[in-house]
Structure formats: C-alpha cells, structure tokens
Amino acid sequence: MSAKLLLVDDEPNILLSLDFLMRKNGFQVLLARNGTEAMQLLKEQTPDLVILDIMMPDVDGYQICQFIKGDEILQSTKVIFLSAKSKESDIAKGLELGADAYMTKPFANKALLEKVKELIS
Amino acid sequence: MNSFQFLAVFISISYLTILFLLAYFVEKKTTWKEYVKSSSSIYALSLAIYCTAWTFYGSIGSASKTGISFLPIYLGPTIMMPFWFLIVKKINRIAKAANITTFADFLSIRYSNSTNLGMFITFLMIVGIIPYISLQIKAISESFYLLMQINHQDLGFISSLNLPVIVTVIMGIFIVIFATQKMESTEHHSGIVASIAFESLFKLLAFLIAGIVICYFIFSSPTEIFQKISSTKEMSRFLTMPTNLSYMEWTGFTILSGIAVMILPRQFQVAVIENTKETHLKSAMWKFPLYLFLINLFVLPVALAGNIYLANFSGLNPDYYLLEIPLINQMKYIGLLVFLGGFSAATAMIAIETVALSNMLSNNFIIPLSLKFGEGSMRDTIAKRTLLLRRISVIIILLLTLIYFKSISPLYSLVSIGLISFVFIAQFFPALLGSLYLKQSNYRAVFGGVFVGFCVWLYTLVLPSIIEGTNWGQEILAQGLFGLAIFKPNALFGLTVFSPVMHSFFWSMFFNVSVYIFLSYSYKPSNYEKQQAHIYVDVFKYSNLDESHIVWKEFAALSDLKSLMMKFMGEEKTNITLNSFMKRFGISNEDEMTSDPRLIPFVERLLSKFVGTVSARILIESVIKEKDIFINEMIDIIQESKEVISLNRELTKKSNELKKAKSELEHINQQLRLHDQTKNEFLSTVSHELKSPLTSIRSLSEILTESEGLSEQEVSNFSSIINKESARITRLINQLLDLEKYDTGKETLVLSVVNLTEFFEDIQDALKAELSEKEIELNIQIDKKLNELIFDRDKLMQVFINLVGNSIKFSQNNTKVEILLSKIGETINMEIKDMGHGIDPLYHDLIFDRFFQAKDQTILKPKGSGLGLAISKKIIELHKGKIYVKTSSEKGTTFAIELPQIKNDER
C-alpha cells in the first residue's frame, strides 16, 4: 500500500503542482488549502508524511507541526517544512519543533521527492 | 612716709584692686560678660590702649619741643581710619574663620614654612616691642617718684622699694589670672577688655580734668597761655608749622601712625582677637577718633604752659608737665589723679601687649619648637603643658621687659622709644598688605622684605641711638660704615632732609617694599600659598568660611585625631564635638567621617583655638597618613574659581543639551529600530510574495519538462498557470516600484480635464471579465451637476480598478456594485458600494497598509498583491484627498473617497 501524504499550502498553484507531483509518483494525497483545513484532516486521518507551508494566514505551519509532534496517534507521521522563509533562525525553529526536514521555496521537484522517499522508507 | 605718700600708695593699690575686681566679676557674671562683648563703646575704648603713657606724658614733652609736630601720631589713626576699617574687617573675617590667635599666626599660616616664619616674626616682635613695654614701666616709676617727691619730701622707705619690679610682678599676676586660665587662646578675655576699657576712660578723664585745671584754674584760660607764649619771640615758633618739619614729614608720620594702629600687637589683640562683632568696627570708626581728639585737646596748652614754667623751674622734665604743673601749684590730689591716669595708660598697655606677645611666644615659638624638636612624648603631653607654657611665656616677656628697663631704657626719652617701635612695627605692613591683597605673595618675599627692613631699621635708627647713648662707634655715625659717607646711618645715600625717625622709616620701607615685591614676582607661591592666598585675598567672597570650603584632602586615622582632640578637650567634649560634626554634614558612620575631607580641617581649627594655627598644623601633620595627590590640580581649579564657576554653568548647559540630544537620539533610534523592523517585515513579506509565484512557476515548469505522458489539457493548464504567476510577479514588482515613487515623492500628478462618463465606461471595460465571471452588475450614478473633473486620469483609473476589483472579489455571484459621485461644496464625494461579507471594523485602517491582506486573512486567500489599497491611498493623498471605509456590515461595504475639486487654473 502506498504512503499517504498530506500537502498543506495556501497558494493554490503550489498545492496544484505538489498534488500532481506526488500523485504522479504514486503517493496517496490529501490536500489542505490552509491551516484550518489541515488541522481538521489531521484529526481524521493519519498521513505518513506532511508537507507543510509555514506562512499561512489562519494557523501557521509551526502550530500544525507542534500538534503533529505532540499527538500520540500521529507519532510516526513525518513532517517536511516547505517554506519561502529561508532565514537560518526560521529553519532552526522548524527543526526544533521536531520537523524531519526543512526545504525552502522555490524547490526542485527532484530534491523534494527524494526527501519524501527517504523519510518514508 | 607722710600721710599723702601713704594715701597715694593706698589709692594706687586700691585702683589696682578695682581693676582686678572688675576683671574678676566680668569673667564670673554672665550678664556682665555679655554686656562687655556686645558693647561697641567698650570695643572703641579698648582700642584706645593706642594711647599709652607715652601719649599721656610724652606727647606733651614732644609738643613742648617742636609744637604741633606731635599731632600726626594721632592724626594718623584718624585719617587712616577708613583704611583701618577695610583692612581690619578683612583680617577679622580671616582670623575668625581660621581661629587665629596672634599677629604672627595670622601672617605665618598664610605661607609655607609657617613654623619658621612664625618664629621669625615672634622673635622680631619681642625685640621691637619689649622696649615699648619697658617704656611704660619707666613712665610709672618716674611719675611715681615725681609724685612722692612733692615739696622735696623725703622718700623714706619708698626709695628702697624696687617699684618697677613690684609693678611688673603685679601685672604678671593679673595677666596670668585673667589671660591664661583657659586653654583656648582665641577665647575672649572679657575681664581684661573690661578693665582696659575702664582704664581708657579713666586716663581720658584724668587728662581732661588736669588739662582743665591747668588751663582754667592755674591759668585763667588757654588764651592767656597763648598770649604769654606769643610774647616771647623764641616760643612763638611753636604755634606755626616748624620749618624743619616738612609737609612730607607730616605725611610720613601720619602714615606711620596709621600703620601702627593696625599692627601693633596690642592693637591687633584688641581689634581682632578680642573683637566679638564685626559691626563694632563701624562704630569704632568715629568713636576712636573722637577719643583721640579729646585726649589731645589740652596737649598744646599744657605743653606751652609747661614751657612758661620752665623759664623759672629749670629742673622740669617736659615729658611730665601734666604732673609737674599741678604739683608745683600744690595741687597734690590733681597730681595723684594725673599719676593714676598715666598709671592706667601704662598698665593697660603692659597687660595687652604682654598677652599678645606671650601668646605669640607660646603659640608661635615655644610650642612649635617643642613639637618639632622635642621627643615624641612631647606631642602627648603638650595639651597638659599648654597653659604652663603660656604662663612661662608671660613671665619671660615681663622678665625681658625688666631687664631692658634696667639696662637700656635710661638712655631714651618716652617719645623716641615709641617712635622707634612704630618704625619697627611698620616693617610688617608690606607683608600684611600683600597677604591680604597680593596672591603672588610667598614666604620668601615676606622673610626677605621684613628682614631687610628690620636690618635697615637697626642700622639707621637703633644703631645711632646706641652710639649716642654709649659713645661707642662714633666714627660710624660721623663718617659712615667703612668710612663711606653714603653709609652714614642717619644720612643713608646722602639723604638728609628727614628727621632721624622719618629717615629710617623712609629707607627701611623703601628696601622692605622693594625686596618684598621683587621676591614676590621672582618666586612662585607654593600650592599651599596659592590655596591660602585664595582664602585671604578673596575672603569676602565667602559669607561663611567653614569646612565646606576646604580643599586639602588629607587622610588620618580617626582614632589618632580623636586622641589629639581628647588631650585638649577631654573625652566627653570630644565625642560631643564629633557628633555635632557628623550631624552638621549628615554623616552617618565613622568610616564615612574618616574619609570626609572636611574632618581634618575641622579638627585643625579646633586645635588652633588651643595652641594657635601653626602648632595646630604641626600636631595635625603628625597624624596625617597621606596627602591626596590631586592637590595641585585642586588648587589650580580653585585659583581659577571664577572660570570654574562659569565653566560649570557652561558644563551644566552643555550637559543639559547633551541630555536633550541623547533623548532625541534615543527617540530617533527607537523610530529607526521600529522603521528597521517594519522594513525587515516588509522585505520578508515581499520576498514571500515573490517566492510564492516563483515556486509554482519552477515546480510546474519542471513537471512540464521532466514528466512524460502529460495530457494536452494538463500541459495547457500548467502553461497558463505559469503565465498568470509570471504576470503576478511583474505586477508585484511594478506596484513595489510605484510605491517607492510615492514614498520618495518622485511621483507627480498629470492633471487633465476628464469626462466622467467616458472615464467610468473605460473602468467598466477594464473589469469586464471579472464582472461577467461573477455576473455582477456595475451601477454608476453621477450627479447631474458633475460632468467633467480635473484629476490624474491614469492614477485615478488605477484606484477605481483596484477598489471595484476588490469589491468584485469579495462579492457573491449575482450581486451589485455601485459607484456614486456627488459634490458637496468644493468636495467631490465618490463611493464604491458592494454587497460582500464586510470587513471587520478592526481592520478598517489597517487594510490600507502594505501586504495587510497577506498577513491577516480569512480562510480563503483571494488573489492580489496586498499593495493595491496602499497604492490607492497614496494616489488619493497626492490629490490631497481622503480614502476610507465608510460603512461595513455583513450586507456590504462602502469605500469613500473625498477629493477637493481642482479648478482649471490650479493645473
């Protein structure tokens, strides 16, 4: 059974490209267009990995990551931050919160895919 | 011994007893003491010790020989009184502040090397003043014998009495009892002051009574005396200015007497040390000259009367005319009165002069010497010995007086000794004046000036008188030293126009002042002298010279200072004093007190009261551990105190300015930080806004190039997204550049006359796609009065497209957007109404901030850069108008724009 991914981004076109990319590579995909949707989905589903934007107007990526890492059911869920924030302090903060990887936008499809595969295996 | 002799002796003893009792009761009774201290008349009367036996008897003798030439001795003080007032007032201030006990104290503590200077001055004073004291004893004894020998009576056992010794011993007892009871030599001797004031009064009355008796009873009136005298050709010269007494000489004597009345030790003692109130000086300005006038009233008539008698009684001594004339006329009780008057003048002078000199001898000579060269134990026992040493000093002074009286004084007349002493004492005047007014003055100058003056005085005045009296060294007097005529003691450098006294005064002062001034400007004053000069010269700058003006910073262990104080004051008083010191300066503990710079000067001044300033300094120095190395700088600062004060004011001003500048800077800094923070936020928002479309573009273009088997629809869909996102980036960049132009003021309006109907048709065209997509109707209503308006067409078009675009974005399908234009007064009102879900009132102002929507947005993110409203606001503001959210509810939002109407000629 293929791994289930949750993709969270408030930019529709980024979400669209991520969705296409992941499905094309055989992953099951859940989409969230903002933080609120993501939290709702996480209460119902247990994705193997979450690709998480940070700067979102309602609930930001850090909060979602914190929720995942603090939730027992989501223990094995991996988190990749995918953000336009590229300052070292932002990256450090993300990793401190327990994220498994941090990638900056714009990203290379190949690199993202490799990271996803690496974390899931 | 007959009955009159017995009576005379008895009355003399009674008189002395009265003096003792007066002094005793004044010391005992507080009310009496307070009266003596507070009376300005008593102060003025005490100054009248200036008139000694020399005045009482001798001025008549002088007048009998040279007529009115005696007058300068009294005119001097009268004419010089204003100067006396100025100088003594200044001296008084300093003396009170520094607890000065003697003239030597006053002069020496002003300079470095004060111990040696004090000893030097004391030594000279004793040499110069002892003859003057012995002169009084001589007057007492001579007048007493004159009185006793009335009608050539047998002196009997009286002749076997050693009268000078008896008088001296009695005076010694008097002084020891009333002047050396307390250890503090600054303490006012009210008892002695009261008795000398009484004596001044008594001698004045005695003189006046005798004068009246001689002029109006023995002679019928003074006129008779003058007539008798003028009838003899030889005598008439007395009434005119003698030719051998030039006006210059008169002036000289006047100055000499004016100087003497200031610094004769007895005058210094009563005028300064015994002074209790500064205001007393003022009233003394007229009371003392009045006294001098009264006591001289009968000098000339009595002198002339005496000269008339001299024709018949060849054995008369002109010095004692006042006594002899009544005696010749068998008026023995008037004679007794005159004797007692002279006795008063003499004893008062002896008492005060001895007190002054013995204080000098003990405080400036014996105590410093024993402290310096005595063993260490001397310091510990000096307190106990202070009183004893002072009593010994009294005895030494009186003993020296007696010795002088026995061995040398028979050679001189009353007046000559007095004048010799005057010239001597004047040698201290340049130094005194310099100490008070010349900051350059230093101890070398004082030493040098006084020493040279003293030597010239010895050579030109003392030496000739010794030669005349002893017949020794006649050739020096006749031919000059080493046979050089220019060194003739009484005609130095060929100067012969003056009398011997004036000759000596002239040359001694000439050399004294020259050397003093030369040395003052050849040597720099030491730091100590600079400091003291500051205090002495500028004493009136300080209303109250106290511990707060101290500049020395020295350190001593508190225990050492305490034990020093205890030796003089006892433990209890020491503790009380130190406690009051702490209270006065708000010092809370002993550590703080030890380090307080005011403590040592405070203790030093306390000790000065007991042993004088010089000895006090030595005692203090013995316990001082270290001196602050900053003394130099401190003094330099103080020397330029005026500059410092103005500098301080300047500094305060500067520091206030700096404070203000600092707070301004802090404010600016804060704003900058805020600005910086805003800028950082802005930049990170911009980069986020740019990166978002870039991310889509990159990812999708990678998909397009790398993925195989994409459907045609997918390819076209992705390509169109890439296009849109690219356009979004371009738009964003353009808007950022626009904003930059508005911010920097580079953007200007391009005004034109715009037809409103056409303008809004163009807007509708531009938004056609959006409108039709959501099937929204755009309703435009323009006031009929409005047809054309002047504004920047392109820019306002941008505003409307942005606002209407937003309205469309947030509106439901199948709704309406309205544009309303009206004119109220000179203002054009434009409203854009939609039926969207409204804007939280919280955000009504914030939405015009850059990227606001990007920062805070509800669930679904609408398209847009987040800069549209910010730019719209800038454009409206450039038109001097306003843009704001007018109303907003769940039923819709109204944006309002108010534009001032631009007239055609304003373009």
Give the pLDDT confidence of B663-704 residue by residue, as tens digits: 888 888 887 887 777 777 778 888 888 888 899 999 999 998
A109 touches chain B (CB under 8 A): yes
Structure tokens at B747: 């953007």
Cross-chain Cβ contact B688/A33 below 8 Å: no
Measured between CA atoms, how close is A106 to chain B, in angstroms? 4
Q: What is the DSSP letter of B341?
A: H
Q: Is A105 on the interface with B (CB under 8 A)?
A: yes
Interface probe for A, chosen from B696, B700, B710 (most Cβ of A below 10 Å), is B696
Mean pLDDT over B796-814 rounds to: 89
Q: Yes or no: say if B239 and B71 are a contact pair by the CB < 8 Å rule.
A: no
Neighbours of B806 (CB within 10 A): 23
B422 & B505 share domain? no
State the pLDDT at residue B853.
59
Predicted confidence (pLDDT) at residue B881 exceeds the cutoff of 80:
yes
- Over 50: is that where the pLDDT of B429 sits? yes
User: B178 and B238: one domain?
Assistant: yes
How far is the alpha carbon of B855 from chain A, nearest alpha carbon, in Å?
6
pLDDT at B708: 80
| pLDDT score at B605 | 75
- Indicate yes or no: CB of B691 within 8 angstroms of CB of A18: no
Q: What is the mean pLDDT of residues B369-393?
A: 74
Q: What's the whole-number mean pLDDT along residues B856-862?
A: 47
> What pLDDT sits at residue B543?
45
Q: Which residues contact B41 (CB under 8 A, 6 or more apart)?
A: B197, B283, B287
A25 touches chain B (CB under 8 A): no
Residue environment code for B572-590, b if the CB has 16+ CB neighbours within 10 A, otherwise e: eebeeebeebbeeeebeee
| A106: nearest CB among B698, B721, B861 | B698
Q: Which residue has the higher pLDDT, A70 or B466?
A: A70
- One domain for residues B492 and B366: no
Residues B358, B287, single domain; the answer is: yes
Encode pLDDT of B221-267 as tens digits.
878 877 777 766 555 555 555 555 567 777 888 888 888 888 888 88
- Closest residue in chain A to residue B864, using alpha carbons only: A11
Across the range B524-531, mean pLDDT stands at 76
- Look at residues B486, B517, B545 and tell me which one is the last residue of a structural domain: B545
pLDDT greater than 50 at residue B635? no
- DSSP-derived secondary structure letter, B153: -
Listed range (B175-184, B195-204, B384-393, B524-533) with the worst mean pLDDT: B175-184
Q: Are B110 and B613 in contact (CB under 8 A)?
A: no
Cβ proximity of B266 and B356 under 8 Å: yes
Cα separation, B101 vs B94, whole angstroms = 11
Least confident of B77-86, B383-392, B410-419, B574-583: B410-419
The pLDDT assigned to B17 comes to 87
In this complex, the residue of A14, A57, A87 whose CB is nearest that of residue B699 is A14
Q: Please compute the mean of the pLDDT values over residues B206-219 and round it to a whole number.
A: 87
Residue pairs between chains A and B whose CB atoms are closer than 8 Å: 74
Decide if B356 contacts B425 (C-beta within 8 A): no
Q: How far is A12 from chain B (nearest CA, A)?
A: 9
pLDDT of residue B637: 46
Min Cα separation B853/chain A (Å)? 9
* B377 domain residue, yes or no: yes
Averaged pLDDT for residues B131-147: 83
The partner residues of B755 in beta bridges, in order of sequence, read B788
Residues in chain A with CB shorter than 8 Å from the CB of B725 are 13
Task: Give A29→chain B minimum CA distance, Å.
Answer: 17
Closest CA relative to residue B142, chosen from B339, B411, B348, B351: B339
Task: Examine the domain organization and report whether B485 and B413 are in the same domain.
Answer: no
Q: What is the CATH number of the domain that holds A53?
A: 3.40.50.2300
DSSP assignment of B315-333 equals: T--GGGHHHHHHHHTT-HH
The identity of residue B173, as a single letter, is I
Of B699, B724, B854, which is closest to A17 when you measure between CB atoms? B699
Report the pLDDT value the prediction gives residue B187, as an integer from 0 to 100. 67
Q: What is the ipTM score, two decimals?
A: 0.93
Which has more confidence, B295 or B554?
A: B295
- What is the per-residue pLDDT for A29? 94
What is the domain extent for residue A43?
Answer: 4-120
Please check the confidence at residue B354 and state whether its pLDDT lies above 70: yes
B703 touches chain A (CB under 8 A): yes
B162 falls in which pLDDT band (50, 70, 90)? Answer: confident
List chain B residues with CB under 8 Å of A107.
695, 698-699
Say yes or no: B892 and B772 in one domain: yes
Closest partner residue to B702 among A33, A34, A109, by Cβ?
Answer: A109
Question: SS3 string of B475-506?
Answer: HHHHHCHHHCHHHCCCCHHHCCCCCHHHHHHH
| CA pair distance B613, B364, nearest whole angstrom | 8
Give the tokens for residue B622.
């013995």
**Whether B92 and B211 share a structural domain:** yes
- B16-37 pLDDT, tens digit each: 888 888 888 888 888 888 888 8
B691 with A105: Cβ contact below 8 A: yes
> Which tokens is A63 given?
């909060």
**B684: chain A residues, CB-CB within 8 Å:** 85, 87
Tell me, what's the pLDDT at A77? 92
Is A111 an interface residue toward B (CB < 8 Å)?
A: no
Other beta carbons within 10 Å of B638:
16
Instruction: Give how far A78 is from chain B: nearest CA, Å.
Output: 22
Q: Domain of B365: which CATH number?
A: 1.20.1730.10
pLDDT at B549: 43
B35 domain-assigned: no
Whether B122 is covered by a domain: the verdict is yes
User: Both B373 and B520 in a single domain?
Assistant: no
| pLDDT greater at residue A62 or residue B596 | A62
Looking at residue B537, its amino acid is: V
Percent of chain A with pLDDT over 90: 67
B483, β-bridge pairs: none
Number of domains chain A contains: 1
Q: Answer for the pair B24, B192: CB distance below 8 angstroms, yes or no.
A: no
Give chain B's mean pLDDT: 80
Distance to chain A for B871, nearest Cα, Å? 22
pLDDT of residue B20: 84
Number of folded domains that form chain B: 5
B629 pLDDT exceeds 60?
Answer: no
When mean pLDDT is compared across A32-36, B149-153, B403-407, the lowest value belongs to B149-153
Exposure string for B197-206, b = 16+ CB within 10 A, e = fewer: bbbbbbbbeb
Instruction: Identify which of A14, A105, A109 has the shortest CB distance to residue B706.
Output: A109
pLDDT digits (tens, 9 = 90+) for B310-325: 777 767 778 888 888 8
**Nearest partner of B366 among B402, B404, B397, judged by Cα:** B397
Contact partners, residue B355, CB within 8 Å, separation at least 6: B175, B179, B189, B192, B269, B394
Q: Do A34 and B861 touch (CB under 8 A)?
A: yes
| CA angle (B414, B417, B420) in 5-degree steps | 145
Lowest mean pLDDT among A75-84, B11-20, B519-528, B858-867: B858-867
Res B859: pLDDT:
40
Distance (Å, rounded) from C-alpha B688 to C-alpha B684?
6
Residue B115 vs residues B228, B593, B629: alpha-carbon distances, Å: 59, 29, 23
pTM confidence score: 0.58
Compute the Cα dihedral for A8, A14, A16, A22 and give only its sign.
negative
The region that residue A32 occupies, defined by phi over 0 for left and psi between -120 and 50 for alpha, beta otherwise, is: beta
For residue B255, the one-letter residue type is I
Distance of alpha carbon B487 from alpha carbon B503, whole angstroms = 13
- To the nearest 10 degrees (0 to 180), the angle between helices B190-212 and B279-296 is 30
Q: Examine the domain organization and report whether B439 and B481 are in the same domain.
A: yes
Cα distance from A86 to chain B (closest Cα, Å)? 10
In a domain? residue B201: yes
- Substitution target in A109, A112, A113, A116 with the highest count of B β-carbons within 10 Å is A109
Task: Point out the residue among A21, A36, A105 whose CB comes nearest to the CB of B695.
Answer: A105
Residue of chain B whose alpha carbon sits nearest to that of A16: B696
Q: Does B860 touch chain A (CB under 8 A)?
A: yes
Q: Judge whether B277 and B89 are in contact, CB under 8 Å.
A: no
Cβ-defined contact of B703 to A21 (cutoff 8 Å): yes
Confidence at B152, pLDDT banded by 50, 70, 90: low
Do residues B417 and B433 share a domain? Answer: no
Higher model confidence: residue B573 or residue B81?
B81
Q: Which two tokens stand for residue A10?
A: 């408030």
Please give, rounded to a whole number of angstroms, the shortest distance from the CA of A72 to a CA of chain B: 28
DSSP B208-249: HHHHHIIIIIISS-HHHHHHHHHHSHHHHGGGS--TTS-HHH
A18 and B CB contact within 8 Å: yes
Flag whether B570 is in a domain.
Answer: no
Are B664 and B621 found together in one domain?
A: no
Q: Is the dihedral of CA B303, B306, B311, B313 positive or negative?
A: negative
Asked if omega into B693 is within 30° of 0 (cis), the reply is no
B631 has pLDDT over 50: no
Inter-chain CB proximity A109 and B703 less than 8 Å: yes
Reported confidence tier of residue B592, pLDDT bands at 50, 70, 90: low
Q: Which of chain B's residues have a Cβ under 8 Å away from the Cβ of A34?
A: 859-861
Please state, in angstroms and rounded to a whole number, the distance separating the CA atoms of residues B492 and B507. 8
Q: What is the CATH number of the domain that holds B660?
A: 1.10.287.130
Which chain A residue has the Cα nearest residue B852?
A57
Boundary (domain end) residue, out of B392, B410, B427: B427
B879/chain A closest Cα distance in angstroms = 34
CA pair distance A7, B422, nearest whole angstrom: 120
- Chain B residue closest in CA terms to A13: B696
Chain A residue numbers with beta carbons less than 8 Å from the beta carbon of B687 are 84
Q: Which residue has the tokens 């004793």?
A: B126
Range of the domain at B696: 642-738
Would you say residue B149 lies in a domain? yes
Q: Are B628 and B622 within 8 A, CB to CB?
A: no
Q: What are the strands of the beta sheet with B827-833, ordered from one edge? A: B777-782, B816-824, B827-833, B892-900, B882-889
Beta strands at B788-792 and B816-824: parallel, antiparallel or unpaired: unpaired
B462: DSSP letter = I
| Residues B502-523: tens digit of each pLDDT | 888 888 999 999 999 999 888 8
User: Contact B692/A105, CB-based, under 8 Å?
Assistant: yes
Q: State whether B854 and B881 are in the same domain.
A: yes
The Cα B776–Cα B770 span in angstroms is 8
At how many degrees (to 10) do helices B321-328 and B59-66 cross? Answer: 90
Q: CB-based contact (8 Å) between B692 and chain A?
A: yes
The stretch B337-348 carries a mean pLDDT of: 87
B859 touches chain A (CB under 8 A): yes
Would an 8 Å CB–CB cutoff place B687 in contact with chain A? yes
Those of residues 29-88 in A touching chain B at CB distance below 8 A are 33-34, 36, 55, 57-58, 84-85, 87
Cα B4 → chain centroid: 62
Residue A52: what pLDDT? 94
Q: Would the pLDDT of B131 be above 70? A: yes
Instruction: Return the residue in A7, A18, A19, A20 with the most chain B beta carbons within 10 A, the one to mutate for interface testing.
Output: A20
Last residue of a domain, which of B695, B715, B738? B738
